[in-house]
Structure 1
Amino acid sequence: MFVDLHSHLLPNVDDGSQSYRASLRLARQAVDNGIEVALMTPHHMNGQYVNHKQDVIQLTDEFQKHLDNENIPLSVFPSQEVRITGGLLQQLDDDDILFSDAFNQYLLLEFPDDDIPTYSRDIIFKIMQRGITVQIAHPERNIKFMKNPRILFDLIEAGALAQLTAGSYVGNFGKKVESFSEEILNHNLAHVLVSDAHDLPNRSFEMAEAMKKVEKNLGRDYQQLLERNAESIIDGNSITTLKPELIVKRKFFSKF
């Protein structure tokens, strides 16, 4: 059974589920995929969606009641997928940010799909000075990381973590994203697998298939490490990391 640290199951709050009916269907799919615990991580401050801390907590509590009423054995907890902005530190000061754990140790941070803002490293450093570990959301789909994998390597080496989307690793976003996902795992630049599930085509869970692929390509120990890390993060505990290695840029990056 898996812990999923990234999903968009809450209805009518972002580009994920658009109804309770869809949310319950997604929840059943999650359970069928072996997920027993899931974080609700709606987009926050990404230029299109704002999901304040207290609103997400309330909506997650309501969703859990619906799950219980439908006898769906999924436990859900409130969190956010927070877009990096120049005002993020103020948001932390204002206590409007949710973390991946109850002890405020792990923060899920999203970059724009096609860029890494120039202030990112400074913001991440200041966040980490507060004792918070940043988790980078879906680096395998970021064009800037694809063009220059050293940026990701430098962030990981400095202490950030990365979430790899299961669907990316099994090919749902195309061969180039799949290949980059494999490189990220092969070079110890990701620390957990997540679903990032939306109620959209090709945005389902894929956790079981992805874990099987990890076991086949990298071994059972590596696959179990990813599982344990997800459990440790949601509990606010330290995780096990392997020494990151720099990805040497190859031809499949050349068109980005």
Structure 2
Amino acid sequence: MIDLHSHILYDIDDGSKSFDMSIEMLRMAAACGTTDIIATPHVNRRGVVPEWSVIVEKATVLQEDAKKAGIPITIHTGAEVEINFEALNFLKEDARDYCIAGSRYILCELTNQSEPKQTEHLLFELMVRGYRPILAHPERYDRIMEKPRYIWKWLEKGVLTQCNGGSFVGYFGEEVQRRVEMLARKDMICFLGSDAHRTTVRNPDLAPVEVAIKKLTNGAALWQRCEDNGRKLLNKKAIYPSIEGEWREEKPKKKGFFAKLFG
């Protein structure tokens, strides 16, 4: 698997806290079958914008250290950029800074305060500037997920999505798990990422995630699609969402008698 979203670089954001932790995180990732991992430190969170050259240097050094430690994994540079109007000041037209592995694809983070209409404007402005936005973990944004048809619309326009492995195993709660499973049913997930921050909780071990995903009706196809899309991205090939038809709201499942009685 290609892990599209991780915080494995130490001393740059709220992710890995030390060299030893970064190495152990890489070891965990490789052990579960991850062949490539994208280092995506936070950019523009609370207005803090690390220099792109710093991200590249840290990833290069960590790759060298991983090789010395015998860890069979390839690190690629990227960033998790909080998208607001301030971000447009440093995301210049046709630039590649903060993009994934030298491509035009850029991982975009929202907040729980992000509104669909404003988000739509920002995403499409990025596309006009030559970027291909990948929306990071949409299942975690309350206001966006109140109207998931917006995400469907964005996918139709060429925006891509990345969901967190932890969302499938309940790490972020039942509601987020319900949302991500809905996105899976509707083929609205393009990439997977661990969003790993530590070696303990929120770690890069995607093995339990693979088990959980493959229990879903179309889980095996989803896992393979995300792997294929990740490989296409690294090879700088075009990626298209697999959604078809029109958006349809899902009807809530009717509760049985005992479910109604006990909650």
TM over 0.5: yes
Q: Find the aligned partners of 1:201 and 1:251 in 2 and give their Cα distance.
A: 35
Residue 89 of structure 2 corresponds to residue 90 of structure 1 = yes
Task: Name the structure 2 match of 1:37.
Answer: 36
1:238 aligns with 2:238: yes
Map of 1:171 onto structure 2: 170
The 1:147/1:138 distance shift into structure 2, 3 A limit, reads same
CA contact (8 A) 1:53 1:96 kept: no
Counterpart secondary structure, 2:100: coil
- Structure 2 letter corresponding to 1:98: Y
Once the two structures are TM-superposed, the CA of residue 167 in structure 1 deviates from its matched residue by 0.8
Q: Residue 16 of structure 2 corresponds to which residue in structure 1? A: 17
* Unmatched tracts of structure 1, length 5 or more: none
Closer/same/farther in 2, CA of residues 12 and 82 from structure 1, 3 Å limit: same
Any idea what SS the aligned residue of 1:119 has?
helix
Aligned to 1:181: 180
Distance 1:247 1:109 in 2: 26
Partner of 1:133: 132
Secondary structure of the 1:5 match is: strand
Map 1:144-159 to 2 at 5 A: 144-159=143-158
CA contact (8 A) 2:194 2:206 kept: yes
> What secondary structure does 1:109 align onto?
strand
Q: Secondary structure of 1:101's match?
A: helix
Verify the 8 A CA contact 2:52 2:97 in the aligned structure 1: yes
Q: Which runs of 5+ in 2 are unaligned?
A: 254-263
Aligned counterparts of 2:252 and 2:50: Cα–Cα separation in 1: 39
Question: Could you tell me how far apart the structure 2 residues matched to 1:219 and 1:247 are?
Answer: 20
Moved more, 239-248 or 37-46: 239-248
Normalising by the residue count of structure 1, what TM-score does the alignment of the two structures yield?
A: 0.89
Q: Is the 8 A contact 2:25 2:198 kept in 1?
A: yes
Structure 1 match to 2:100: 100
Could you tell me how far apart the structure 1 residues matched to 2:199 and 2:112 are? 17
1:61 is aligned to 2:67: no
Q: Which residue of 2 aligns with 1:220?
A: 220
Separation in structure 1 between the aligned mates of residue 13 and residue 214 of structure 2, nearest angstrom: 33
Matched to 2:107, the amino acid is L
| Aligned-residue offset at 1:9 | 0.4
Following superposition, the deviation at residue 206 of structure 1 comes to: 4.2
Alignment-mate amino acid for residue 242 of structure 1:
S
Question: What does residue 25 of structure 2 align with?
Answer: 26
- Classify the secondary structure of the residue corresponding to 1:6: strand
TM-score (norm 2): 0.86
Q: Residue 152 and residue 117 in structure 1: after superposition, are their counterparts in 2 closer, same or farther (change >3 A)? A: closer
Cα gap change, 1:201 to 1:113, in 2 (>3 Å)? farther
Aligned AA (2:206): M
Counterpart position of 2:249: 248
Deviation at 1:219, TM superposition (A): 4.7
CA deviation profile, 1:106-146 (whole Å, cap 9, x unmatched): 11111013423753212211221234211000101111123
Which whole-Å deviations, capped at 9, do the CAs of 1:187-208 have from their partners, x for residues lacking one? 1211111111111753112423
Q: In the aligned structure 2, how far is the partner of 1:251 from the partner of 1:173?
A: 21
Task: Say which is worse superposed, 149-158 or 52-61, in terms of deviation.
Answer: 149-158
Contact 1:14 1:49 (8 Å CA) reproduced: no
Work out whether residues 134 and 162 of structure 2, in 8 Å CA contact, stay in contact via their aligned partners in 1. yes
Aligned residue number for residue 72 of structure 2: 73
**1:21-71 deviation digits (Å, cap 9, x = unpaired):** 111111111111211111110000111642221110011111111111211
Cα 1:97–1:202 shift into 2, 3 Å = same
Percent sequence identity over aligned pairs: 28
